[in-house]
Each structure stands twice: as C-alpha cells, then as structure tokens.
Chains A and B, each alone.
Chain A
Amino acid sequence: MIGGLFIYNHKGEVLISRVYRDDIGRNAVDAFRVNVIHARQQVRSPVTNIARTSFFHVKRSNIWLAAVTKQNVNAAMVFEFLYKMCDVMTAYFGKISEENIKNNFVLIYELLDEILDFGYPQNSETGALKTFITQQGIKSQHHTKEEQSQITSQVTGQIGWRREGIKYRRNELFLDVLESVNLLMSPQGQVLSAHVSGRVVMKSYLSGMPECKFGMNDKIVIDKQGKGGTADDAGKSELGGSGKQSIAIDDCTFHQCVRLSKFDSERSISFIPPDGEYELMRYRTTKDIILPFRVIPLVREVGRTKLEVKVVIKSNFKPSLLAQKIEVRIPTPLNTSGVQVICMKGKAKYKASENAIVWKIKRMAGMKESQISAEIELLPTNDKKKWARPPISMNFEVPFAPSGLKVRYLKVFEPKLNYSDHDVIKWVRYIGRSGIYETRC
C-alpha cells in the first residue's frame, strides 16, 4: 500500500508532501530528490528502490509525482493511481504546473485525503469527487440534508460514479476514438514493428440513470453474429464504407462502470455512464494497421565532410481526408557544421539544439507525396566513431482510426424517464495521432 505521496518541482523542492503511514519518514523525501531528481545520470526506471523503500514516479512537464512505499505493492496499481491522480488534478485546475499546484495546494491536500485512505486508493472518479470537493466551497443553504446523506450512500453504494437525479434538457453524448499509431520501419520499407493503442473517450450529458450499450466492429462479435445466422444487415451496410469489416483487438481495459460479467459472457459492452467526461475503454491492436504515412529516406555520404539527405513522404489514405500538424524530424550527425534545405511543401529548418532538421507541413491530403532534400556539411573530427544514424521520426494527426475501429452503435435506455434512444443526440469523432513513428535511414 502507498505509504506517502510527494510532489516536487523541477529543482527537487517539495511542493506537496502527504505521508499516510508511519514507516515512511521525512528522509524519504530527500532520498528521492538526491537519488532520482538530482542523480548524475538520468534515471530512466520509473521505479527506484532506495534503502528498502520503493519510489514510483511519473513526470508531468516539470513536475515529479512520487508514490513511496516500504511494502511489496502492486506496481501497476500504484501507477494507475498516479495517472488517475494526474487526471483528477487536471480536471480540477487544468494543466499540472508548479504555479497551479502552488495555487491549489489546499485543494490537492483535500483530494489526497479523499482518494487515498491509509494508503489504499478510494473513489477517484472526478465526477463523484466534484460533488463533495468543490473549489468554491459548499453552498450549504442549497444542499439539503438529504443531498448530503445522498453523498454517503452514493460514494459507498454500488454505482459510486454517478449520483441520482441528474437532469438535462437536451440529452447529448460525445464519443471520441483517439488512437496513437506506433511504427518502426526499415529503410527498405519493411515494417519491423507496428501497433496502435487507442482510447474511447465519452462525454455524456444524460438524464437519470441511463443504461448504455456500446458496439464496435470487434472481430469476435462480428464472426459470432455471422455464424449465428442472425446477420445484422443494417449493421453491415453501415460498415460498408471501409475496406475491412472487423478488427482484431489484442487486449482492452474498461472503465469500472462497464459490466465485465456481461462482456465475458456475451462480449457486449453495457454500462451506466458517469456524468461528464471519462474514458470508456482502452485497447491495443497489432494486425492490419493502416499506416497513414510512408517515409522514404535516402542518405548519401559524399566524402568525409558532406552528407546528402533526401526524404520523401507519401500519404496513404482516402484523398478526401486531410492530415494535419505533420512534422518530420531528420536527425543530423553530431559534427554538423552547416545545413542547406530545400523542400517543396511546408517549412524546414535545421535545429542545432536538437541535432535535427525539422520539417513542418500544416495540412496534407491523402494519396499525395512530398519531398525534402538537404545538404549537410560536416566538420572532420578526431575520433573515428561512425555516426549511429538515428531513425527519422514523424508526427501527425489524421481524422480516422488507423486500427480500422468503427463504432457500430451506442444505444441508450432509460426506462424511468420518458426519453428514448432516438431522442439522444450522439456525436462520434475519430482522431489518429502518431505515437513513436520512426523509419530507419
């Protein structure tokens, strides 16, 4: 169990320190600073063990969050908690920065009291937390005794993530499929590794206690339906747009509101959603990934003092779609003394501080091609070490899911209130972003 939680700024000064258990002393605060933040080499492991005390840390911009324990805890649980903690803080006061933390430290202590009890994680659902931890202070005249007693029953009850009696004039929900696609490609264009990690994020503004059912083109479900003979023709025609019918999901996790027993038996995703924004599920796929861009590098060494680089990028999706925020990063040797760049589209610049040429294109349609060529001058050096040729990396954003995931339906049932599935306004959006998208050169 977590013994304590510390938040440091980039200098290693403690901003927040909350100790939950007696086995964690004050010196633990210094131990982490000395051994991790101020370590000579950069500490890459997120878990550090110092004098039989384990430190789990995550870093958000310049802020370090460290959970400390002397016990043999489940590391995945601790990290899940830390991520959750970050989400909660973001939901309360926006970006996690030193200033924001300093301005909200009373709130953070309040939150820490609530979401961790003697080191055991408690309800960390933002929606639920917001009902009793508020930034303005509790307006007691409006909160009746009943409402306050409701808080207790809700927090300890079966559906801790949603309170009763929510009412909206317009029942609306937003569904975002956010994916990041990771790739490592050989210079010859062979895919060495590729996977997509995606999230389904939902923002719901629904009245009452609605029961929702979510359907997507998961291969197992589609195959089952096909075999069962009860082929849903309408569903199929919906999918008709893309080339493939179903996708194979390697693994997925759900928000706690999803009834796992039902998923296990019927593979249907049904749940009572929390109010507001939350992450419904996370998943990962590795098969049949649509790679939005292809990078073709050409590096030629001309003598000892010159290097010629030519990079072609090709977009590989429907011409009607537009990719955005494209950025190609071409690493340069460490002894670069000068760079000349010519590119057909966008802007390219040699950034000495990052040892790379950065080429930015604002927009690019599908099935297009663009090219950059650069001449790099080198300074002869003493040691004969060869340049390691780090891969060319790329960033972009595309309006479709590279995994091929499609939302088939999201049905809402609220038996007690008088609105039906058809009355709910639903919005679906797909965003594919680049994760680590690299091509060797």
Chain B
Amino acid sequence: MPAVSKGDGMRGLAVFISDIRNCKSKEAEIKRINKELANIRSKFKGDKALDGYSKKKYVCKLLFIFLLGHDIDFGHMEAVNLLSSNKYTEKQIGYLFISVLVNSNSELIRLINNAIKNDLASRNPTFMCLALHCIANVGSREMAEAFASEIPRILVAGDTMDSVKQSAALCLLRLYKTSPDLVLMGEWTSRVVHLLNDQHMGVVTAAISLITCLSQKNPEEFKTCVSLAVSRLSRIVSSASTDLQDYTYYFVPAPWLSCKLLRLLQCYPPPEDGAVKGRLVECLETILNKAQEPPKSKKVQHSNAKNAILFEAIALIIHYDSEPNLLVRACNQLGQFLQHRETNLRYLALESMCTLASSEFSHEAVKTHIETVISALKTERDVSVRQRAADLLYAMCDRSNAKQIVAEMLSYLETADYSIREEMVLKVAILAEKYAVDYSWYVDTILNLIRIAGDYVSEEVWYRVIQIVINRDDVQGYAAKTVFEALQAPACHENMVKVGGYILGEFGNLIAGDPRSSPLIQFNLLHSKFHLCSVPTRALLLSTYIKFINLFPETKSTIQEVLRCDSQIRNSDVELQQRAVEYLKLSSIASTDVLATVLEEMPPFPERESSILAKLKKKKGPGAVSGSELEEGKRDGGELNGGAERGIDAAATIASNASTPSPSADLLGLRSGAPAGTAAPSASSLLVDVFSEAAPAAPSAVAEENFLSSAPNSCSFGAEECSPPLPESDELLNKFVCKNNGVLFENQLLQIGVKSEYRQNLGRMYLFYGNKTSVQFLNFSTAVTCPGELQSQLNVQTKPAEPVVEGGAQVQQVLNIECLSDFSEAPLLNIKFRYGGALQNITLKLPITINKFFQPTEMSSQDFFQRWKQLSLPQQEAQKIFKAKNAMDAEVLKAKLLGLGTALLENVDPNPENFVCAGVIQTKAKQVGCLLRLEPNAQAQMYRLTLRSSKDTVSKRLCELLAEQF
C-alpha cells in the first residue's frame, strides 16, 4: 500500500478529533459536532467546487462523526465523487465511507457500481484491490448481482496480479456466503482448484478458503483438489523453515495454510489413489514427528502455531479413521498434552480424545490414560475442562472399566459444578445401565445417584430403574431390600421415595419375611415420608398402599384407616381425593381375587430405546452422541422405558382417568389396546363391574367409551342421508398426507380442525368443530362412514357429538381408528346441523390414508438395495413421473418425506440429490414393507417417484398419494 505522504496529513481532521476528545461533557461534544456539521454543510453547499483534499477531509470528518454514533444524512455524493479520483488516499477514504455508510439507495448504488466497475477494469492493482474490498465489505445482494460474474473472471485471469487474486478470492467467498445462488459454478471452478498450485503462498491461502467453502456444497466438482492439496501440504511440511521466508511464522512454515489444507482434506474421504494416500500419511507422520522435536523458540506463538497444525492433523486422522498406527500415535501425543501446563491445550486434548475414543482402533490406547483423566476431573480449575474430562470418561467407558469410571464419576458428583450436574447424572445412569454385569450393582449405583444428586435426577432416570427391576426377576428381591434400607435414612430425596414406593408396592412381599421389614414396618416407613412429598408422589404412594392391601391383607385395616382420614378423602387436590375415595371403595367392596386381578404385578415393559439416552442427546444437541452409541443403546437396552407412570395408572387409576380425561388418559387409551398391556384390559372390564355396583351415579358410560377394547361403541348411520362429499374434499385430503394436524375444512359457519396421532395399526383423531357464528347450531350430528370394501379394511369408532354448539364455541370429538388391512379409499365424515332454521349438510373425506400407519425403518445402504432388488416383480413396483408443483427445495422435501411417516435414509443413494425412504405399514392383518425413492430433476422441474412394496395395491395407492405432494 502506498504510504501516506506528509501533505495528506489532514490537520483539520486531527484538530477536530482532539477537540472532541477534550470535550468535558456530552453536551459540549454535541455542540462541537453540530458546529462542525454546519461547517461541512456550508462547504458542500458552497458555490465553488471543493478540491479533492478538502473533500476527503470533510468526508473523513463525517465518517468520524458517524462512528461516534451520530446520524449522517449527507455527504454520500461527495464520497462517490472521491471514488473517481486518481489519488489513492482519496479513493480509499471514498470507499471507506461507502462501505461503512452505504444503504440501498437506488440512485447512489448505480453510481457506486459504476465507479467500482471502472476500478475493476483499470489495470492498477491497488485500485482493483480497493474495489474488491468494498464489494466484500458491503457484501449486499445488490453487489452480488452486479459483480458475481465479474470476480471469477478476475480471479482466474492469467495476467492478474497476485495481490488482486488474493482479494478476488476472498471477495468471491464473501459473496458466495451471502448469496450462494448468485455465484454460479462455471468453467472457472476447475481453474480455481489449480490455484492451489500457485507460486504465491498468499494466493493459495486465500484460494483455499474459497475452495473449502465451495467444496462443502459441491464435493464432486472439487474432488480433484484432494491430490493437489496433499502435494502442497507435503511440500510445506517437508520444507525447512527458511524456505518460505515471508510465510514462516516463528519458525513454523505457513501454519495457516497448513491448517486450511488439513481442514479441506477433512471434507473428503481418504484418497483412493495409493500414491496420494502414501504421501498424505507421510505428511501426517512428519507432523506428528515434529511435535516431538524440541521447540525452536520459547515464544508462545511458535508453540501455538505448531499445535494448531498438530490438532488439525489429528482431526484429519480421526476423520479418516482407517490408520490404526496413526490413530495410536495421535492418542499418545494427546496423552502428553493431558498433563501440559497450558489449560487450553489440556482442553483441546480432552476434546480430541473424546472423538478418538469412539474409533475402534484407538479405543484401547485412549483407555490407558484413564488415571490422568480422572485426576483432571478432580483437580482442574476450569469447569469447561472438567466437563470435557467427564465427556471423555463417558466416551472411553466400556465393560472392563465401567465400575471404576462410574464410581469415580459418582464420587465427583458430590462436588461437581452445578452447571454440569444434570448431564453427569444422566451419563452415570446410562453407563451404569449399559455396562451393568449384575443388576444389583446397577440398582446400588442408581440409588446412590439419587441419594447424592437427587435434585438433578430427572424422571427418566428413575423410570428406568423401575423398568429394569420389573423386567428382571433376579434383582427384584435385592432392589426391595436396598430401597427399604435407603428409605430408612432420616432425610431422603423425593425421587428416592418414588422409587421406594413403587418397588415396595410391587415387590414388598419379597422382603416381608424378615421381621425387621415386616409389612407394617414397610408401610409405616413409607407413610412417614408421605407428608413431605409433592402431590404426584403422594398419588403414587396411595397406589402403593392399595397394592399393599393386596400383598399383605393384614395391613388392610391400617391402610383403610389412613385412606379414610379427612386429609385424604377430603383432600383439596382432585387427583388425591379421587384416588383415596376409589381405593377405599375398592378395598372394601372387591373380593380378594378381584383385588388380586386388578392389582396384579406389573407386566414387563416392552423394549425400546432408552429414554435417558434420548434425553442426553436432546441436551447435547443433535449429532453430539455418535451413531454407534445409538446402536449400542438399542442392542443393550434389554429393558425399556415407556414411563413407569403408565404402569401405575394402568393398574390402579383407571377409574380416575375415565372421569377426568387428561393427556395421560389419552395415552393410556391408546396403549390399552396395544398388545403390551396384559393386565390393563383384563382389569378394566372388571373395574367397570365394580363401578356399576359401587357408584351407580358414576358416569360408567363414559368409562366404557374410553376403553374401546372393552366396550366397542361403533356408530351406524344411514348412508342415504349423507350428501355426496364436497368436490374439494379430495384436495383437502391431500393436504394431510404429510402432516397430522391442521385445519380440515372451513366455511363461513364452521371450522373443523384435526389433530391425530398414530401408533402401529391404531390411531386416534381429534376433530374440533368450531362455530364461527354467534348463533348456536342445533341438531348438530356427525357420522363417519366407510364406503364399500373400506368397511372391512378400516375400523373407525366414535361417540356422538353434542347436539348443540354454542355460538363461538368449539366442541371436540374423538375418533378411534384401527387399520385392519391396507386400504385405498378414505372414510367419509358427514356433518349435519341447523343454522338459523336451514339444514346444513356437509360431507368430507377424513384425512386417514394408508401412510399414517407407517413405522419408520432405518437400514444401511447395503440392506436397502438388497431389499430393493428382492421387490423386483413388476406388480410390486409403482412408478410415476410428474412435474413439480412447488419449488424444489431439499429441506421442504425432507420435511414432507418425514411427515409421511417413513424413515429418511441418508447416504444410501449414490446420488445425494435423490431421496430414499423405508418404512413398514402396520395393519392388523399383516405388515407391508415399503421402499421409496424420489429422484428430483432440477433442470426439468420433474420428479420420478418409485415405490416398491410387498403388496401391489399399497404401492399403487402410495404412489398416487405422493404424486400430489411435491
């Protein structure tokens, strides 16, 4: 850059700035600025033209005033004039003003663009650089529109100066980041890649930033950069520190460039060409070797630069995950850093090791550092480093060291920082479960966990321990004993009371033989905690008491006494009161075998993914827990969640659910039909009996309806009364293929909203009828019909809606749906009501389509194509080619395909543009596997949709449905 000559000192500006600095108060400063502004205005307004120097000076002052936080609304024109000056300093100030103050003023933008164009076309490199910097600094869409095509040309032109190339590359990067759609790939892309071979290191450094950004979006087009990058890297790494003169930083050759190269390589899989790969491995080895060399300088910059390269190299090694030798060496290197003085280095080492631990080659090597990591967890002063240490312990844990690690984490938990406690608790819970060899150890660990950090133990954790105890016969007795002992502590956490209450209620009989834990002692122990607990816990304890009555008849009178007392039976909390009343009645009326059936031991829980793991994932954000963990979670999760609440509710509080429909009651309603619950359905029919005797006034009809399995309440309606479906109802139907909630229908009078949920072959749909008028609807009735053969394919049950809908009010109707076999029609919903005397009759198609019963299936690329080939009969496939109705946005497509209910399989199809999905349609009769492939063609705005399934009608129907969606 040309040095500022003495004559350009701008004394006036200096004086003005020192005046402002010397102002004693804000008011004085504002006065000074006002004066200066008036002066500049009169100068700009003055008749005689200003020379370049004074123009520059005043524009500079304006800029200074603007940067002090005052509004500037003039001087733009003068700044633009400066752009056409031939003096560097004047041009520079002009560009500076514009890049700071420009707004999208149409008139000026045109002038500015013109000036920039002139400068770009000039052969003067400094002017070109100024113009490029201005474009990049403004970086607006208008700029991109005007120059996106121009800059690549400058970048690849043979006669462009190096400094201009540098600026052009960075400018293009900026434009690409702000408006990627305007920077079009062309023949210049390949030439950009070859900039990696440029003589000038600055150009390479600038270009590589651009290439990294571009290749992340279009990996295919930039594939050739890998070999170039490797050769460049090897040249830098093998060069002596003096070779690169200007680009040697504290004896490290071109550290920034090396880091960027290594980062670029992390965008691609390991090179397939043996020679290239060999060279790269050599480079990485050299980098690791260099780390062992004694430092050439004591300066911190030297070691920083060296370590930066080293950590990038290790990141690359981990990314490739294919060189056991390198991985182990990297691990050893990191091990050295674990004890380094520098806190930042320790942090980085722990973080990198976390990823190393998940690689099978280096897992063992990481494990050798366990002692160091544990001491780091205990002694580090910085909480973020301790957090990383905890992460690493979690990552390196396996069956061999689980006991040690869990014990260490538990002991650390007592002193742990509040911010990481909850996460630590989750991790301990997961590790304890995952690597539990004997379940008594597991139970001990979790109870300890609740004891130490009860406040941070989330619901999921204690649900889980209960599930495991229930699903494992061998541990039940031990669990009951341990819990009993734990409860004897004078102060125990509420979560402990919950676990204790549940487990003693189920398995208290296993320890009742011991006189020290006789039934009555058990009960008294639990009841001593009762008054200190919150309402949900008390509710749980009440259920425990009724279970005690079943387990130990001798406690019956004591417990009835407790239930009968005013604080229970007249409790102000509805739930508690209801439980107390019902349990009291249940215990006094029902015979012992009825009691035994109702209060049977809970059935084992169905196996599902651990909810704790899900919670940890949610906490950490997507992608934080690696896929392998997920797999393991599934494999190891021999016993799973579903919410222990479910058990309690199902067995004991059916009645309360029936009369107060709460969200949990809905869940229950769905599940009671599911094959998992064996006790619940059998109990419910009994319970209805009990109720009809005990409480004749109770709304037993309502109770029945909530249990479709026990009291089917199908609706029969005269089909001839229904009007034909509305012409637009097909279109309305299509709206709901990929979503479950929304507005189904709306006219001037009525709005119908839909909310639905599906599980396996069952579904539940809520219809909300909203009266949009101020007058009530009379004789309001709705009917659901299944025309033709649909009757045998789909079972839809509902109860009649209320006959009167008040003006402005909304009524809700619940539909229970069961899919018997695959179907292609949609059931009809007929609504009739009187509005102001006139009969309204509306028929709609209910948005129930076959895809609602999809269960997503995850599978690997290999599995997918194997199955794809298996379904190759011509009738199994349905294909359609159609024109896009909406813009082809990948994110929108993804969302739609997920809404369909299938699993969207990433990285399966060789062409990343294509979408591949898999799922199983669950019907009562059978399950139909489905594979889907959607190939968008952006140029033609067309899609090709291919569906293969084991049943031809399903393929066809799905193909029809989906073709309307995109």
Contacts and interface: CB of A to CB of B under 8 A. Distances in A.
B74 A335 contact: yes
Interface residues of B, number: 19
Interface in B1-60: 24-26, 31-32, 34-35, 37-39, 41-42, 44-45
A383 B73 contact: yes
Contacts of A377: 45
Contacts of B31: 353-354
B105 interface: yes
Contact of A379 (B32, B35, B45, B108): B45
Contacts of B108: 382
B34 A382 contact: no
B38 A337 contact: yes
Contacts of B951: none
Given A336-B38, A379-B41, A10 B24 contact: yes
A149 interface: no
Contact of B32 (A10, A338, A353, A383): A353
B634 interface: no
B74 A379 contact: yes
A382 B73 contact: yes
B39 A352 contact: yes
B76 interface: yes
Interface string B76-111: 100000000000000000000000000001001000
A61 to B, nearest CB: 10
Contact of A62 (B25, B35, B39, B45): B25
Given A42-B26, A336-B41, A353 B35 contact: yes
A352 B24 contact: no
A381 interface: yes
Contacts of B39: 352
A395 interface: no
A382 B105 contact: yes
A103 B964 CA distance: 89
Q: How large is the interface on A (under 10, 10 to 19, 20 to 34, 35 or more residues)?
A: 20 to 34
Contact of A337 (B26, B35, B42): B42
Contact of B45 (A11, A334, A338, A385): A338
Contacts of B73: 334-335, 381-383, 385
A381 B24 contact: no
A337 B34 contact: no
B105 A337 contact: no
Given A337-B38, A353-B32, A353-B34, A381 B74 contact: yes
Interface in A265-302: none
Contact of B34 (A10, A338, A355): A355
Given A337-B44, A338-B42, A382 B74 contact: yes
Interface string A171-202: 00000000000000000000000000000000
Interface string A380-412: 111101000000000000000000000000000
Contact of A354 (B34, B41, B44, B76): B34
A338 B46 CA distance: 9
Nearest to A350: B38
A381 B78 CA distance: 12
Interface string A311-350: 0000000000000000000000011111000000000000
Residue of A42, A353, A355, A377 with most partner-chain B CB within 10 A: A353
Interface SS of chain A: helix, strand, loop or mixed?
loop
Residue of B39, B42, B105 with most partner-chain A CB within 10 A: B42
Nearest to B41: A337
A307 B625 CA distance: 70
A386 to B, nearest CB: 12
B855 to A, nearest CB: 56
Nearest to B26: A42
Residue of B35, B44, B73, B76 with most partner-chain A CB within 10 A: B73
B112 to A, nearest CB: 13
Contacts of B74: 335, 379-382
A10 B23 CA distance: 11
B23 to A, nearest CB: 10
A77 B108 CA distance: 58
A158 to B, nearest CB: 46
A335 B41 contact: yes
B34 to A, nearest CB: 5
A10 B25 contact: yes
B402 to A, nearest CB: 48
A380 B41 CA distance: 10
Contacts of A42: 26
A383 B35 CA distance: 21
A190 B162 CA distance: 73
Interface string B141-158: 000000000000000000
Interface string B883-927: 000000000000000000000000000000000000000000000
B76 A337 contact: no
Contacts of B24: 10-11, 62
B386 to A, nearest CB: 30
Interface in A5-62: 10-11, 42, 62
A277 to B, nearest CB: 31
Contacts of A352: 34-35, 37-39
A337 B37 CA distance: 9
Contacts of B42: 337-338
A346 B357 CA distance: 89
Contacts of B26: 42
Nearest to B43: A337
A380 B45 CA distance: 9
A337 B38 CA distance: 6
Contacts of B32: 353
Contacts of A379: 41, 44-45, 74
B672 to A, nearest CB: 55
A352 to B, nearest CB: 3
B45 A337 contact: yes
A34 B641 CA distance: 54
A327 B44 CA distance: 31
A381 B44 CA distance: 12
A11 B108 CA distance: 42
Contacts of B105: 382
Contacts of B37: 334, 352
A11 B28 CA distance: 13
Contacts of A381: 73-74
A384 to B, nearest CB: 10
A38 to B, nearest CB: 10
A332 to B, nearest CB: 9
A381 B74 CA distance: 5
A379 B46 CA distance: 10
B947 to A, nearest CB: 59
A353 B38 CA distance: 8
A11 B21 CA distance: 13
Contacts of B76: 382
A390 B26 CA distance: 21
B81 to A, nearest CB: 15
Contacts of B38: 336-337, 352-353, 355
A422 to B, nearest CB: 53
Contacts of B34: 352-355
Interface of A: 10-11, 42, 62, 334-338, 352-355, 377, 379-383, 385
22 contacts: A10-B24, A11-B24, A42-B26, A335-B74, A336-B38, A337-B41, A337-B42, A337-B44, A352-B35, A352-B38, A353-B31, A353-B32, A353-B34, A353-B35, A355-B38, A379-B41, A379-B45, A380-B74, A381-B74, A382-B105, A382-B108, A385-B73
Given A352-B35, A352-B38, 16 more contacts: A334-B37, A335-B74, A336-B41, A337-B38, A337-B42, A337-B45, A352-B34, A353-B38, A354-B31, A354-B34, A377-B45, A379-B44, A382-B74, A382-B76, A382-B105, A383-B73
* The 10 residue pairs across chains A and B that have the minimum distance between CB atoms: A352-B38, A337-B45, A353-B35, A337-B41, A353-B31, A381-B73, A352-B35, A379-B41, A337-B42, A381-B74
